[in-house]
Amino acid sequence: MTSGNNVRVVAAGDHFVLPSLIADAVGREAGEQPVNVRELKLGWPLDPFGPVAEVQEASDAEDEMIEALAGAQVLVTQMGPVTERVLAACPDLRLVVVCRGGPVNVNLDAAKQRDVRVCFAPGRNAAATAEFTLGLMLAALRRIPQAHDLLARQGSWAGAAYYTYEHSGLELEDLPVGLVGYGAVGSRVARVLCAFGARVLVYDPYVHGEIHGLRVNSLEELLRGSHVITLHARLTDETRGLIGARELALLPHGAVVVNVARGPLLDEVALCDALESGQVSAAALDTYVHEPLPEGSRLRALAERVVLTPHLGGASRAVAEKAARIAAEEVGRWVRGEPLAHCLT
């Protein structure tokens, strides 16, 4: 951009990453550069996301986006659908910044064809997801939700049964916990687990250098040696279904499985079989193969052995604020003519 040009920005936020958060962050980052920000509020998460035309995980709001983007050069959004239709209708658009770890709601090929740069906000929810992972892990190990349900909802003191040796929970100190993946989230989880005194095992063939815990050479070695496994790998063609019946059978009997990464990393049918047989004693899940979790899911019938949350790992105010700030920094770089930090096209 040339200094002095009045840049028109659309802040297409939602009920989580508020348009006002984006607008304020862009204003701070732009400094003395002339920037005109228009706010648009989309319906997520009160309205669910889904596929929109050829993009995924977006709000069904193509018409609203096209109207708001008239004459705009920059779009900052989390769930706005940046489809071929939207791009074709907005010829002035030059930069799209998505306030999330991957721009799945953007048609990257169409953006590249129209010379539209596409950026994203990596790491915005790493701390929140790591904390949530530990929360779910502790809830599953110590059966906190089940005890709460007995006392608060049913008015029963029968939770005392959890104080018997056979039904009492596990503590993290000295417990072997295996991490599948050691990226921004996994590395944070490892540090906290070490502080708890857990024996941390790590399998990640793509990460080198120093780690918190003991690096193992294969997934099989990690599974055989871990009483708890927690998944932190990216979802790719290679990792889809990474943990299935064969892998679960390698775990010590009565192991615990935690997944706050991506649902399709884990074969849910195999997990349910393992829970029913006792091979896996408990599971804590925040993500699923199909979201929302279908009413007929076998997981719902296993409430005594599972902790289920509706994809809330990244739901913290700090995540929304970080996402807006990281996105605004990219807008500031573009306005000043500086190299973009997290650009895909």
In the sheet where 306-308 sits, what is the strand order?
214-215, 199-203, 176-180, 228-231, 255-259, 280-285, 306-308
- In the annotation, is 262 catalytic? yes
| H-helix or E-strand spanning residue 221 | helix 219-225
- In the annotation, is 39 catalytic? no
What residue has token string 């920094």? 329
Q: What is the DSSP string of 257-286?
A: EEE-S-GGGB-HHHHHHHHHHTSEEEEEES
The answer to whether the beta carbons of residues 191 and 131 sit under 8 Å apart is: no
The one catalytic residue in 100, 199, 212, 262 is 262
CA 297 to chain centre: 21
Query: Nearest 10 degrees: CA dihedral of 63, 68, 70, 72?
Result: -130
119 Cβ partners below 8 Å, 6+ apart? 95, 96, 97, 98, 103, 327, 330, 340, 341, 342, 343, 344
151 three-class SS: helix
The one catalytic residue in 94, 131, 311, 321 is 311
The one catalytic residue in 39, 84, 221, 291 is 291
Using CA atoms, how far residue 81 sits from 84, 160, 345, in Å, is 9, 51, 17
Catalytic residues: 262, 291, 311
